[in-house]
């Protein structure tokens, strides 16, 4: 129950924060009253969601996905990116759907697909990390390239620095996901330890989802 509440609050809170920032950037009249702006925000959110499910929105989404995939050099890295994206999407959707909306844990075919997706995710994450680690490794270089003081970094982090931090949060959470999933399935731990590993697995999944949401928003907001 506690995890369910924390998940709903954090995911909806981060999603609301990110979408509201998008709304403010697109708003034509930033000086309007708060309640009026809030009503405009929900109207804008509904219209944006409606456009996504329309044929034109689906075509734009497919085109954007193709552009993202083709941006990586080499077929091997492209397939690793696709595997990482698809497997993580299913892991997040299936895991949180059962954790939030069901009293029973994962079972049956969804559980089988969850386990298979977990293996694909772990392999894709290792490959992606091997090829892309240099881009996000030097956090100090990210600060110096932005010519930012320490105080300004905390007040308004440079996009390059923030993307590096979110990348490593996602990677560490992904490693924790893999380790806790394997540990909970091995017969070497007591029942209490396995229960603790399952709880750690859930919270690692939550952290990875929040980091991915913020990273994607930053990537689409600050295109290269």
Residue span of the structural domain in which 43 resides? 1-53
Q: Is the pLDDT of residue 209 over 60?
A: yes
Residue 23 lies in a domain: yes
> Is 40 within the bounds of a domain?
yes
- What per-residue confidence (pLDDT) applies to 149? 47
Our count of domains for the chain comes to 1
pLDDT tens digits along 28-75: 555 555 545 777 888 878 887 787 777 877 777 777 777 777 767 777
- Helices 34-53 and 55-70 pack at an angle, to 10 degrees, of 80
In a domain, 34, yes or no: yes
CA angle 205, 211, 214 (to 5 degrees): 140
- Looking at residue 175, its pLDDT comes to 92
pLDDT digits (tens, 9 = 90+) for 162-198: 888 888 899 999 999 999 988 888 888 888 888 888 8
User: Cα separation of 124 and 177, whole Å?
Assistant: 14
22 falls within a domain: yes
Give just the sign of the alpha carbon dihedral 185, 125, 61, 164. Answer: positive
State yes or no: pLDDT of 223 exceeds 70.
Answer: no
pLDDT, tens digit, for every residue of 82-119? 888 899 999 999 888 888 887 777 788 888 999 999 99
Question: What is the C-alpha separation between 177 and 183, in angstroms, rounded?
Answer: 10
Q: Is residue 21 part of a domain?
A: yes
Specify the pLDDT at position 203. Answer: 93
Distance in angstroms (rounded) separating the CA atoms of residues 213 and 12: 11
Model pLDDT, residue 157 = 57
Residue among 61, 85, 59 at smallest CA distance from 72: 85
Which alpha helices (DSSP H) does 27-158 contain, by range? 34-53, 55-70, 75-101, 108-137, 139-145, 150-155
Grade residue 143 by pLDDT with cuts at 50, 70 and 90.
low
- Answer with the residue of higher pLDDT: 156 or 192: 192
Tell whether 145 is covered by a domain: no
pTM: 0.78
Going by pLDDT thresholds of 50, 70 and 90, the confidence category of residue 138 is: low
Long-range contacts of 76-79 (CB under 8 A, 24+ apart): 76/127, 77/127, 77/128, 77/131
Could you tell me if residue 129 is inside a domain? no
């Amino acid at each position: 129950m506690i995890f369910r509440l924390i998940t709903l609050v954090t995911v909806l809170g981060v999603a609301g924060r990110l979408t509201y920032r998008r709304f403010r950037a697109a708003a034509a009249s930033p000086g309007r009253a708060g309640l009026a702006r809030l009503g405009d925000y929900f109207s804008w959110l509904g219209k944006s969601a409606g456009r996504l499910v329309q044929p034109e929105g689906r075509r734009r989404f497919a085109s954007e996905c193709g552009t993202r995939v083709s941006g990586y050099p080499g077929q091997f890295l492209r397939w690793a990116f696709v595997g990482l994206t698809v497997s993580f999407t299913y892991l997040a959707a299936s895991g949180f759907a059962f954790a939030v909306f069901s009293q029973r844990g994962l079972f049956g075919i969804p559980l089988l697909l969850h386990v298979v997706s977990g293996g694909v995710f772990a392999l894709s994450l290792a490959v992606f990390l091997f090829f892309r680690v240099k881009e996000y490794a030097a956090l100090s270089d990210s600060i110096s390239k932005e010519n930012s003081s320490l105080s300004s970094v905390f007040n308004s982090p440079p996009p390059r620095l923030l993307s590096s931090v979110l990348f490593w949060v996602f990677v560490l959470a992904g490693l924790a996901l893999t380790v806790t999933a394997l540990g909970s399935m091995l017969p070497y731990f007591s029942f209490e330890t396995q229960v603790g590993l399952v709880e750690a697995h859930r919270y690692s999944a939550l952290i990875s989802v929040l980091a991915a949401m913020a990273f994607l928003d930053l990537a689409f907001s600050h295109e290269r």
